[in-house]
Amino acid sequence: MTLSKTLIRAQHFCLLFTSLIKRASVLIKRTSAVKRTSLIERAAILITTAAISTTSAHAEPSLIPSPPSLAAKSYILIDANSGEVLVEHNADLVLPPASLTKIMTSYVAAHEISNGNVSLTDKVRISVKAWRKGGSKMYIKEGDFVVLEDLLRGIIVQSGNDASIAVAEHIAGAEDAFADLMNQHALALGMDHSHFVNATGWPAKDHRTNARDLSLLTRALIQNSPDHYAIYSEKDFTYNKIKQRNRNLLLWRDITVDGVKTGHTEEAGYCLVASAEKDHMRLISVVMGANSSEARAEESQKLLTFGFRFYETHQAITANDVLTETKIWMGSRDNLKLGIKDNIVITIPRGKADSLNAELDINSEIRAPIIKGATYGHLTLKLNGETVAEQPLVALEDIQNSGLFKRLRHFIYLFILSLL
């Protein structure tokens, strides 16, 4: 009796194993040659929701002229959303920043306000040092108490050296301590060629930056402190019955321009950081070492016009959107949804979004358990065959292990596949 039961069980196991072999054979026939030889599945996908399509072999080439050549020592143009550099000339040339320094001064102040260390309503006592400082002024008086919000307008709109020192002393106790804060922020932003020794831009040894670093700073200012950045669009400010106009001439000439800051010393020449937004695209230009206030405005306008005319910002793929589903093994579900963690925002020649092509490299043997956010492949975004963006493909969901029988069945499948 016992022997009979054993033989029956053995017969059942043989039938089960034979069934599994047949199923594995069917699976193998359905498996691509690439899977069998490399364990990597390569696929090109059409993502219509992201306005991406396959590239035509006869796609019309983009007609983009050479960038304008400017009468300035150094300049750069970037897309504020993607960070891509569109135009640059001597962008790493180290130069004195003059009052462009005040962009960092206000950036540090905005950071301290957002962290709750100071408030826009703080009443700031004006020191002798702040009152006596030469150059451009807000015309604050020694011993007076001035609201911090007014001082920020004195820095941004009026370019007041006195206001800059007053804010620096209020935040850090002394201007040199504030300069140390400025340098810490510069390091965090990747401003590798910048060093600050004061809050005003007053000429000093080792007080330096370059056009590329200033574009990074301005981008961070706009993205991290939009409410604070709004002050940069104000055309004038009146304090102590003295009305002063913003020196950024582009605020009157171009409605798309909403900042940023001018600067001038004999050594630095005439400088302007400008930013403009049009058709969901924001550009940042930096021009250093122009010959006059008129020239810095005109040269900056050339860069902005070029960028808006020939390029566009395109959000190609949105984070956490399902880009594809792929087979997984030994899981409670059979398919895994894959996507990317971060939005892919790129700058491309205007009108070329339909020429974008996304290619996915997906690991073919993916086993449960699946942890959301884990990497299971790679996405490459190409424009006319050239890579414009890359990101890991990640799991968009958690998937637990399947039951014991399913895991055994999948184990046999994988074992057979490994023999091929």
**pLDDT tens-digit map of 371-383:** 999 999 999 999 9
| Rounded CA separation 166/74 (Å) | 31
Which residue among the candidates 35, 74, 82, 99 is catalytic per the annotation? 99
| Rounded CA separation 330/317 (Å) | 30
pLDDT score of 419:
76
The fold of 74-290 is Beta-lactamase (3.40.710)
| Rounded CA separation 301/283 (Å) | 11
Domain boundaries, the chain: 29-57+317-418, 74-290
pLDDT score of 401:
86
pLDDT score of 47:
39
Which residue among the candidates 35, 74, 82, 102 is catalytic per the annotation? 102
3-state SS of the chain? CHHHHHHHHHHHHHHHHHHHHHHHHHHHHHCCHHHHHHCEEEEEECCHHHCCCCCCCCCCCCCCCCCCCCCCCEEEEEECCCCCEEEEECCCCCECCHHHHHHHHHHHHHHHHHCCCCCCCCEEECCHHHHHCCCCCCCCCCCCEEEHHHHHHHHHCCCCHHHHHHHHHHHHCCHHHHHHHHHHHHHHCCCCCCECCCCCCCCCCCCEECHHHHHHHHHHHHHHCHHHHHHHHCCEEEECCEEEECCCCHHHHCCCEEEEEEEEECCCEEEEEEEEEECCEEEEEEEEEECCHHHHHHHHHHHHHHHHHHEEEEEEECCCCCCEEEECECECCCEEEEECCCCEEEEEECCCHHHEEEEEEEECCCECCECCCCEEEEEEEEECCEEEEEEEEEECCCECECCHHHHHHHHHHHHHHHCC
Average model confidence (pLDDT) across the chain:
88
Tell me how crowded residue 86 is: count the other CB atoms within 10 A of its CB: 19
| Rounded CA separation 75/210 (Å) | 9
pLDDT score of 409:
76
Q: Which residues in the chain come in under a pLDDT of 50?
A: 1, 3, 7, 28, 30-58
Which residue among the candidates 159, 225, 285, 402 is catalytic per the annotation? 159
pLDDT tens digits, residue range 132-188? 999 999 999 999 999 999 999 999 999 999 999 999 999 999 999 999 999 999 999
| Rounded CA separation 47/331 (Å) | 27
Instruction: Tell me the two tokens of residue 42.
Output: 């390569």
Q: Is domain 29-57+317-418 classified as CATH 2.60.410.10? A: yes
Domain 29-57+317-418 identical in fold to domain 74-290: no
Active site residue 159: yes
Instruction: Tell me the two tokens of residue 119.
Output: 């408030």
pLDDT score of 277:
98
